[in-house]
């Protein structure tokens, strides 16, 4: 199967790398419903409010609200009705009305829940709700005033602009001091809400929506948050940020007062998305703010806020605003790192980073291939509330500089579309590469030049709109010494080209590839024309590329040898994970013990575990090893559900091989727990085999060669695999059970027999451990929606067949071997099988075949011996530390017998009785223990039957 990596405009390339930087609202997810889906229609019929029945099993108690307010939708509809859609087409699918915010009570991580919800058939996208922040950096006033105006030649540009024409820039921010002596005259006014109504009342204050845009009395903008989240019609400042940004764009010129804005003949539209608190740097309802500004006629919309978290919902909003004729200009972020920042990094947005008075990138500026231009953003002097002025630093200050330039372009050339305006601003930048060589391609094309932007009558710009990498062996992984191909689609945004040529060169990076095909002739290229290059660019990767390295290529467009445009293209090379796909199963294996995906919980680096090319059946697969609850190296989700433990350090990067496999392939990797704070002293070599024989083509065989690398004996070692299988949407209605007669754990969707089933087995001649876990928790199972602590992991991976059956819910499976001991230098191999098939008969047959094949291969596999039920205490709710009160106790009885269960102290003195000489048949049971108010310390739960007496310790805290 041919695999390729397609990068779409800087957005998709950055998506996976920023999840760790995401700043999201707790207990909140955003869902975009599929058009016409039953859940959406029911929600719409309920007024886009109220709980959703289909979500309750997964989310629990919850409420919903529209992502875009009804009033904003009205404003958008009105704006579309007023527009000439022969110029810019209205979006035919009203996606913005199908976006819903869900707030829930359960302590479940939003990123984890969103991934689960994404598999529901009615859900197009589920994602956390991004929390955006302002991007200024205050500083003492110790530099000269407004160096940025002459630097970008703004004053010269004013003379080129037409007289008696104005343009509106939306300032979606923290509000504007509309009475500021140096800004108030340039604040936008809504003519539809001014003058007298039919009753001779002032439209500004009559509490009526006179212009029919969904907002009453919005005569000079709108406040979407107010003091306590309640919208109002007074977009006056909380934080001074918005007034400073507004002054950068349009402080009054030639009034002999204070400062001058970058732009002339600009009116700023106050759209407040910050709270009234002057110290708050958090903003909300930014999408409503953007759509309001676009609907009310803002040609340019400045967004000096953002986060590292991308959002499909926000992309939809940006696209809608663009169809209304608005260009979004946004700040690239102040983290001082190479990362994408949103909304700046979205397609169609002009992304701006900050430079200083010497045109050098500032220390706080984010840099990334998604950045389009740079502009002055250090010590910018502008208006602040109360007729005052101050200096601020940040990409928040650079963005309005570029926004003002874009506004003057559209004022000078009113027929330009948003995309064309963006292209003009980029095409007329000054080159500052000599001052920023190490960041070339990461701070945009150059620093904005206002005079060039408004003076250039024949600007030229060509965009790369698609880039696709493919490799020679067609596995989708770009490795050392491999030749890869780059396919490009380009679009001419502006003036026609007569002899277009595409040049590809290495950009500054940690390694330099050899470009075999460095130029491709396109020929004539008309305005708006899109072409796929007739040939691919051939690239030879060197032998010394780093793991998870970034390939950086500069794509330069010329026309008859004259420069036209430049854009950086990136790709991840030499990744530390591989995918095996030679039989009916495809699975990704990384270099530290995960199977399924490399980047839990984003789950975009890898294929999971798929059957016959279908959707992934595995949400998370992880290795866990331990000798006690504390000393338990693992790579499963941890104390925070959205962050996995990372106990293992790679010793050998995952490698796909065909040796030592009868008719198939294997992935081999090795890792150690050497850097884990509670290291046991292990090194582990893992092999994942996929074979193509008829009886094996639905199986994966996994071996773990576990070696003691320290000079002491490792005793009571347990080795387990954790699997969160999701069979069907979100893994709901799944069940898990252990078949003692065959040693197989079975996972099925109980309502969809047409979905495949999954079987897992530990096939080595070692003690077996198994736990059927309810992800949402139960009296006999920990919940892993809130966290998966090491103590909980220990409970599920030790103690034999501890829980043989789950409830019907979202489930996980823990299967493993132990206890066993390892002398210094000793190794022991533990073997597992995963099988997928149409029914249990097929699964059990395939697992038996895999067990036999493993024996023939000389692996540590043996025929299965049935495990009898033993008398045991399998679970104490809340253990290991309990307080007074009720706690459920689960226990197993091996044969019919009277059972007594009681609590005793260290000296054997009875404290309370749970079960008093009650007759039980063989099986598993749950009873309630009422623990009295006793002293802190160690206690034991003792179970006595005809044949045995077993105890389980716990601690009491008060």
Is 922 within 8 Å of 893 (Cβ atoms)? yes
Q: What is the C-alpha to C-alpha distance for residues 242 and 221, in angstroms, rounded to an integer?
A: 13
**Residue recorded with tokens 């805290």:** 957
> Chain centroid to CA 144: how far?
42
Catalytic site includes residue 888: no
What are the C-alpha distances in Å from 476 to residues 515, 611, 618, 656, 743? Answer: 19, 19, 20, 12, 36
Q: Where are the beta strands (DSSP E) in 442-573?
A: 462-471, 483-492, 497-506, 514-515, 519-525, 530-532, 537-540, 549-559, 562-573
Q: What is the C-alpha to C-alpha distance for residues 60 and 54, in angstroms, rounded to an integer?
A: 10
What are the C-alpha distances in Å from 794 to residues 276, 816, 875? Answer: 49, 12, 11
**Cis peptide bond N-terminal to 877, omega within 30:** no
Catalytic site includes residue 519: no
Residues 6 or more apart from 434 whose CB is under 8 A from it? none
Q: How many other C-beta atoms lie within 10 A of the C-beta of residue 396?
A: 32
Is 448 within 8 Å of 355 (Cβ atoms)? no
Is 698 within 8 Å of 842 (Cβ atoms)? yes
Q: What is the C-alpha to C-alpha distance for residues 341 and 703, in angstroms, rounded to an integer?
A: 41
Q: What is the C-alpha to C-alpha distance for residues 131 and 309, in angstroms, rounded to an integer?
A: 8
Q: Specify whether the backbone of 50 is left (phi greater than 0), alpha (psi in -120 to 50) or beta.
A: left
Sign of the torsion angle spanned by Cα atoms 423, 424, 427, 430: negative
Of the residues 54, 173, 209, 218, which is catalytic? 173
Residues 6 or more apart from 160 whose CB is under 8 A from it? 412, 451, 454, 455
Of the residues 307, 351, 396, 665, which is catalytic? 396
Of the residues 148, 180, 241, 244, which is catalytic? 241
Helix 70-82 with 286-295: angle, nearest 10 deg: 30
Q: What is the DSSP letter of 479?
A: -
Taking alpha carbons only, the member of 614, 610, 573 closest to residue 595 is 610
Q: What is the C-alpha to C-alpha distance for residues 747 and 735, in angstroms, rounded to an integer?
A: 6
The pair of structure tokens assigned to 287 is 């999408």
Q: Give the residue ranges of DSSP H helices in 16-165.
A: 38-45, 56-59, 70-82, 110-117, 148-151, 154-158
Taking alpha carbons only, the member of 172, 241, 284, 258 closest to residue 397 is 241
- 601-637 burial by CB neighbour count: b if 16+ within 10 A, else e? bbbebbbbbbbeeeebbbbbbbbbbbbebebbbbbbb
Residues 6 or more apart from 929 whose CB is under 8 A from it? 876, 886, 887, 888, 889, 901, 903, 912, 914, 941
Q: What is the C-alpha to C-alpha distance for residues 640 and 148, in angstroms, rounded to an integer?
A: 45
Catalytic site includes residue 631: no
Q: Give the residue ranges of DSSP H helices in 586-726.
A: none
Q: What is the C-alpha to C-alpha distance for residues 521 and 876, in angstroms, rounded to an integer?
A: 72
Q: What is the C-alpha to C-alpha distance for residues 820 and 680, in angstroms, rounded to an integer?
A: 14
Taking alpha carbons only, the member of 717, 735, 720, 768 closest to residue 870 is 768
Q: Which residues, listed in sequence order, are joined to residue 720 by a DSSP beta bridge?
A: 624, 816
Does residue 41 sit in helix, strand or coil? helix
Q: What is the DSSP letter of 809?
A: B
Q: What is the C-alpha to C-alpha distance for residues 118 and 936, in angstroms, rounded to an integer?
A: 46
Known catalytic residues are: 173, 241, 396
């Amino acid at each position: 199967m041919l695999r390729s990596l397609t990068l779409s405009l800087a957005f998709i390339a950055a998506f996976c790398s920023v999840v760790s930087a995401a700043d999201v609202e707790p207990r909140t997810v955003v869902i975009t419903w599929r058009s016409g889906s039953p859940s959406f229609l029911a929600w719409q019929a309920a007024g886009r409010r109220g709980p959703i029945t289909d979500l309750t099993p997964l989310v629990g108690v919850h409420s919903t609200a529209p992502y875009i307010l009804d009033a904003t939708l009205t404003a958008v509809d009105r704006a579309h009705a007023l527009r000439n859609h022969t110029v810019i087409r209205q979006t035919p699918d009203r996606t913005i009305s199908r976006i819903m915010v869900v707030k829930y009570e359960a302590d479940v991580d939003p990123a984890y829940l969103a991934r689960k919800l994404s598999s529901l058939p009615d859900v197009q996208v589920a994602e956390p709700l991004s929390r955006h922040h302002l991007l200024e950096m205050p500083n003492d006033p110790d530099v000269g005033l407004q160096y940025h105006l002459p630097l970008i030649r703004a004053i010269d540009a004013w003379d080129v602009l037409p007289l008696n024409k104005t343009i509106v820039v939306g300032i979606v921010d923290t509000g504007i001091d509309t009475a500021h002596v140096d800004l108030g005259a340039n604040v936008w006014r809504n003519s539809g809400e001014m003058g007298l109504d039919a009753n001779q009342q002032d439209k500004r204050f009559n509490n009526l929506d006179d212009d029919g845009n969904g907002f009453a009395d919005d005569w000079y903008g709108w406040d979407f948050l107010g003091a306590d989240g309640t919208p109002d019609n007074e977009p006056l400042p909380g934080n001074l940020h918005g007034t400073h940004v507004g002054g950068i764009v349009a402080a009054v010129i030639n009034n002999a007062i204070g400062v001058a804005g970058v732009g002339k003949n600009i009116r700023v539209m106050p759209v407040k998305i910050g709270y009234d608190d002057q110290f708050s740097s958090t903003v909300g309802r930014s999408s409503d703010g953007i759509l309001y500004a676009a609907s009310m006629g803002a040609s340019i919309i400045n967004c000096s806020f953002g986060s590292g978290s991308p959002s499909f919902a926000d992309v939809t909003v940006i696209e809608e605003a663009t169809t209304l004729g608005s260009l979004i200009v946004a700040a690239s972020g102040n983290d001082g790192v190479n990362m994408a920042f949103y909304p700046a990094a979205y397609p169609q947005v002009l992304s701006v980073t900050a430079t200083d008075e010497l045109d050098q990138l500032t220390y706080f500026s984010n840099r990334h291939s998604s950045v389009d231009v740079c502009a002055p953003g250090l010590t910018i002097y502008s208006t602040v509330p109360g007729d005052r002025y101050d200096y601020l630093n940040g990409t928040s200050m650079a963005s309005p500089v570029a926004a003002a330039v874009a506004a003057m372009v559209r004022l000078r050339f009113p027929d330009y579309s948003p995309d064309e305006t963006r292209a003009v601003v980029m095409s007329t930048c000054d080159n500052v590469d000599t001052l920023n060589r190490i960041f070339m391609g990461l701070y945009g094309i150059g620093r904005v030049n206002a005079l060039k932007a408004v003076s250039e009558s024949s600007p030229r710009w060509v965009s790369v709109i698609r880039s696709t990498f493919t490799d020679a062996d067609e596995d989708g992984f770009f490795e050392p010494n491999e030749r890869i191909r780059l396919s490009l689609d380009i679009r001419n945004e502006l003036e026609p080209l007569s002899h277009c040529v595409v040049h590809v060169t290495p950009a500054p990076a940690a390694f330099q590839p050899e470009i075999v095909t460095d130029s491709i002739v396109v020929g004539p290229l008309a305005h708006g024309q899109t072409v796929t290059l007739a040939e691919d660019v051939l690239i030879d990767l060197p032998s010394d590329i780093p793991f998870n390295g970034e390939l950086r290529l500069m794509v330069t467009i010329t026309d008859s040898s004259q420069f036209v445009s430049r854009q950086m293209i990136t790709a991840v090379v030499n990744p530390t994970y591989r995918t095996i796909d030679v039989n009916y199963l495809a699975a990704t294996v990384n270099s530290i013990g995960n199977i399924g995906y490399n980047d839990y919980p984003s789950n975009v680096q890898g294929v999971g575990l798929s059957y016959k090319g279908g959707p992934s059946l595995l949400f998370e697969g992880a290795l866990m090893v331990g000798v006690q609850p504390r000393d338990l190296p693992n790579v499963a989700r941890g104390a925070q559900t959205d962050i996995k433990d990372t106990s293992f350090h790679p010793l050998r990067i995952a490698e796909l091989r065909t040796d030592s496999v009868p008719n198939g392939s294997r992935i081999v990797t090795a890792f150690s727990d050497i850097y884990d704070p509670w290291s046991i002293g292990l090194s582990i070599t893992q092999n994942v085999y996929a074979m193509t024989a008829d009886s094996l083509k639905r199986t994966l065989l996994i071996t773990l060669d576990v070696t003691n690398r320290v000079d002491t004996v490792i005793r009571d070692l347990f080795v387990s695999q954790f699997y969160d299988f999701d069979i069907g949407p979100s893994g709901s209605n799944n069940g898990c059970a252990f078949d003692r007669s065959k040693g197989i754990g079975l996972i099925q969707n109980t309502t969809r027999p047409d979905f495949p089933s999954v079987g897992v087995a530990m096939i080595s001649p070692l003690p077996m451990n198994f736990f059927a876990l309810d992800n949402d928790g139960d009296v006999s199972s920990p919940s892993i929606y809130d966290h998966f602590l090491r103590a909980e992991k220990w409970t599920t991976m030790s103690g034999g067949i501890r829980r043989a059956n789950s409830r019907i819910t979202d489930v996980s499976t823990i299967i493993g071997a132990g206890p066993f001991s390892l002398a210094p230098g000793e190794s022991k191999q533990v073997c597992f099988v995963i099988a997928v098939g149409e029914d249990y008969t097929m699964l059990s047959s395939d697992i038996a075949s895999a067990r036999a094949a493993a024996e023939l291969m000389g692996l540590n596999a043996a025929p299965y011996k049935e495990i009898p039920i033993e008398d045991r205490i399998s679970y104490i709710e809340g253990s290991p530390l309990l307080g007074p009160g009720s706690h459920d106790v689960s226990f197993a009885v091996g044969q019919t017998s009277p059972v007594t269960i009681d609590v005793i102290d260290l000296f054997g003195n009875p404290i309370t009785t749970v079960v008093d000489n009650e007759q039980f048949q063989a099986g598993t049971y749950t009873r309630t223990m009422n623990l009295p108010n006793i002293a802190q310390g160690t206690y034991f739960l003792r179970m006595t039957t005809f044949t045995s007496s077993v105890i389980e310790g716990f601690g009491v805290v008060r």
